[in-house]
Copies of this chain bind each other. A is one copy, B any other.
């Protein structure tokens, strides 16, 4: 496992390695033996063992003597980020109003690399086959919130994104060529909202608007998702969009100075 190429005196390799150990646990590997962790992370068994025992000692993990698993204290790490978000506390009541008004799921996400990351979510029903919660990631290029966030990037950062993204079709509708994606992002920027129709998953339609800070920078996206069979694109534009725009503005207005 590599860190920076050259010896970097300001880099704490043990911290980076330890965080990788935490990240190696997942839905598919909720609990692992010492050797499995070593294998997954590329660490030696002795090193993996020290990291795991340190996590156990600090109550981030536990062991039954053979298998290791993470403990809820790990959520504190993510919570440090969430509770530091300026919009964190004000967004949820506003999102609940959206859900009460439209009877559809509402989510808030930020851009992180090539992905969007959910930071708040008020679900009403399962509109997608995968479960989503705070911390979930989805590709930005084929989600309504993702396109909205891309549209709000400064040109240079957007160019970097286009250079790095790999457009992989998720449904027959997925916009998977660069020219079409750029047009779509530009359209999002112009019209101030994004409507995605079954690009991420068949049957899923969602609409998103930007949430801006006081300097008019796009800092998050807010969306409502529905089943395509239940709500037409026109209805989303005429009924859902005004509610979302209002909610985005209320969140923005509630941000600290």
Contact = CB atoms under 8 A, between A and B. Distances in A.
Given A96-B124, A96-B126, A57 B11 contact: yes
A178 interface: no
Contacts of A53: 10-11
A109 B79 CA distance: 15
A60 B14 contact: no
Interface in A48-79: 49-51, 53-55, 57-60, 69-79
Interface residues of A, number: 72
Chain A interface mostly:
mixed
Copies of this chain in the oligomer: 2
A79 B135 contact: yes
Given A50-B10, A75-B78, A81-B74, A58 B16 contact: yes
A157 interface: no
Interface string A1-31: 0001000111110111111001111110111
